[in-house]
């Protein structure tokens, strides 16, 4: 680990792995220790390849480094694009000892992880996330997968990486809407588990919007720390881990309805978290002031606060019915018992849910 980086661990016994966070790590941090064989395949997209591909090859001294470049965008998170990774692996005769490297945002990370889980029944992979959202959420925890026209991330596998390396320098060129999308997931950790972190975000959100390097690094560290703690307790989402999906049931419905890529994942989750807060209030958990406080922070993070025009309560109900958290046909949602504490429950009144949907759908 370099002097300018910090490290924390996801504790999963013999499958534990480090999360390395710092500036200037691309091309400098030696990751070859996490590569048991001699070959590496970097999976990235056409936007990031010119920026980072050559540098990342330098993270694997002494290894043979190949690459495959995929089209960029959530709409390409499908079987057809995934097959491009398998084509490269087979054409270049990669074996079970190869290591895949995900260089990109959540789409690249999810697809690379799924390819690694599937190729020859499982090979190693490393996450090098380049967006704030992927750095604080999708790169940690081993969830991999692709989208289906009827549902987001409905096809995939749990497959933990060997390591996660986060170079905060990649955020310097991140568009404003991508930064906001990442901040939605950062805010989520404060809402579900850490009221002190939520209060810290309320004090620093404007400087985070301005890409303050030191504050972004701290936000990433604390977010990853929270997720690592949850994943260590519940790797496969049998209980506690489901709280990480605050706002996601509403958000995934928005993404599926609009067509993947029209709304960024974090934008949809931001709106979904506000909807979940509203339902939490109607269910008697939190106060109207708590909802207003949540709304203000999301607004200051430059996130959308209402679903897309034309999306109706019926659209939401139809799409939420296929959510992965549902059990035996019962809709389960993550609600806020208080700011800083979440619960996964199906014990909410249907009329309260309809009132929330009617309030937000215009």
Is residue 243 pLDDT above 60, yes or no? Answer: yes
For 181, the token pair is 């999308």
Mean pLDDT over each residue of the chain, to the nearest integer: 95
Q: Mean pLDDT throughout 77-97? A: 97
Is residue 248 pLDDT above 70, yes or no? Answer: yes
Domain boundary among 170, 204, 233: 170
Residue 66 confidence (pLDDT): 98
Residues 6+ apart with CB under 8 A from 85: 41, 43, 68, 70, 100, 111, 112, 115, 119
pLDDT tens digits for 286-329? Answer: 999 999 999 999 999 999 999 999 999 999 999 999 887 777 77
Question: 248 and 145, same structural domain?
Answer: no
349 and 274 in one domain? yes
CA separation (Å) from 333 to 10, 120, 132, 279?
Answer: 26, 36, 25, 10
Residue in 34, 44, 40, 35 with CA at minimum distance from that of residue 94: 40
CATH number (domain holding residue 83): 3.40.50.1970
Residues 184 and 282 in one domain: yes
Final residue in a domain of this structure, among 170, 185, 217 = 170
Contact 111, 43 (CB under 8 A): yes
Whether residues 115 and 19 share a domain: the answer is: yes
- Which residues are part of the catalytic machinery? 121, 143, 185, 227, 237, 241, 245, 248, 252, 265
Angstrom distances, CA of residue 321 to CA of 150, 263, 306: 11, 20, 20
Residues 211 and 288 in one domain: yes
Please tell me the predicted confidence (pLDDT) of residue 162: 98
Task: Report how far residue 264's alpha carbon sits from residue 262's, in angstroms, rounded to the nearest whole number.
Answer: 7
Q: Residues 81-102: what's their mean pLDDT?
A: 98
Residues 198 and 291 in one domain: yes
Angstrom distance (rounded) from CA 161 to CA 142: 6
d(Cα 39, Cα 57) in Å, to the nearest integer? 11
Work out the average pLDDT over 1-20. 87
Residue 270 has pLDDT above 80, yes or no: yes
Q: Which helix H or strand E contains 354, and what residues bound it? A: helix 350-360
> What range defines the domain where residue 138 resides?
5-170
pLDDT tens digits, residue range 172-187?
989 999 999 999 999 9
Instruction: Please tell me whether residues 189 and 217 are part of one structural domain.
Output: yes
**Same structural domain for residues 213 and 124?**
no
Whether the pLDDT of residue 101 is over 80: the answer is yes
Instruction: Examine the domain organization and report whether 261 and 324 are in the same domain.
Output: yes
- The tally of domains found in the chain comes to 2
Task: Give the residues across from 143 on adjacent strands.
Answer: 158
CA–CA dist 147, 316 (Å, integer): 18
Looking at the structure, tell me whether residues 244 and 269 fall in a common domain: yes
* Domain termination site, one of 170, 191, 211: 170
229 plus 243 within the same structural domain: yes
Determine contact, residues 293/339, Cβ cutoff 8 Å.
yes
For the CA atoms of 20, 26, 32, 35, the dihedral, rounded to the nearest 10 degrees, stands at 80
Question: What is the per-residue burial (b if ≥16 Cβ within 10 Å, else e) of 14-30?
Answer: eeebbbbbbbebbeebe
Which letter does DSSP use for residue 140 in this model? S
User: C-alpha distances in angstroms, 31 versus 4, 290, 349?
Assistant: 16, 44, 50
Distance of alpha carbon 29 from alpha carbon 56, whole angstroms: 9
Q: The tokens of 135 are what? A: 């750095």
Give the model's confidence band at 2: pLDDT under 50 very low, under 70 low, under 90 confident, else very high.
very low
CA distance 145 to 112: 9
3-class secondary structure, 86: helix
176: exposed, middle or buried (Cβ count in 10 Å: 0-12, 13-18, 19+): exposed
What is the rounded average pLDDT of the residues 116-136? 98
Q: Check whether residue 241 and residue 212 sit in a common domain.
A: yes
Residue 1's pLDDT band (boundaries 50, 70, 90)?
very low
CATH number of the domain bearing residue 246: 1.20.1090.10
**Cα 328 from Cα 287, distance rounded (Å):** 31
The whole-angstrom separation of Cα 184 and Cα 189 is 9
């Amino acid at each position: 680990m370099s002097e300018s980086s910090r490290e924390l661990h996801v504790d999963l016994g013999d499958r534990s792995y480090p999360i390395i966070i710092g500036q200037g790590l691309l091309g400098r941090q030696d990751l070859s220790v996490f590569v048991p064989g001699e070959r590496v395949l970097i999976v990235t997209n056409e936007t990031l390849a010119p920026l980072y591909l050559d540098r990342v090859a330098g993270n694997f001294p002494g290894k043979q480094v190949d690459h495959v470049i995929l089209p960029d965008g959530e709409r390409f998170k499908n079987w057809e694009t995934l097959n491009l990774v398998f084509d490269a692996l087979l054409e270049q005769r990669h074996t079970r000892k190869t290591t895949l490297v995900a260089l990109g945002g959540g789409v690249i990370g999810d697809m690379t992880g799924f390819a690694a889980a599937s190729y020859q029944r499982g090979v190693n992979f490393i996450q090098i996330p380049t967006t704030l959202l992927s750095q604080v959420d999708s790169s940690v925890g081993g969830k991999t997968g692709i989208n289906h026209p009827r549902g987001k991330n409905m096809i995939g596998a749990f497959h933990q990486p060997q390591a996660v390396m986060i170079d905060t320098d990649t955020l310097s060129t991140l568009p404003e809407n991508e930064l906001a999308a990442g901040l939605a997931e950062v805010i989520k950790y404060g809402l579900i588990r850490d009221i002190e972190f939520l209060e810290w975000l309320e004090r620093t959100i404007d400087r985070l919007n301005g890409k303050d390097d030191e504050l972004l690094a701290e936000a990433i560290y604390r977010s990853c720390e929270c997720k690592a703690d949850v994943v260590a307790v519940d790797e496969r989402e049998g209980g506690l881990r489901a709280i990480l999906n605050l706002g996601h049931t509403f958000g995934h419905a928005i993404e599926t309805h609009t067509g993947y890529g029209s709304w960024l994942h974090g934008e949809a989750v931001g709106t979904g978290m506000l909807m979940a807060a509203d339902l939490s209030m109607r269910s008697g958990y939190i106060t109207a002031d708590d909802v207003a406080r949540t709304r203000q922070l999301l607004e200051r993070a430059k996130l959308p606060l209402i679903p897309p025009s034309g999306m109706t309560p019926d659209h939401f109900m139809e799409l939420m019915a296929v959510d992965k958290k549902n059990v035996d046909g019962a809709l389960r949602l993550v609600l806020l018992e208080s700011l800083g504490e979440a619960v996964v429950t199906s014990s909410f009144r249907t009329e309260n849910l309809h009132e929330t949907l009617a309030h937000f759908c215009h």
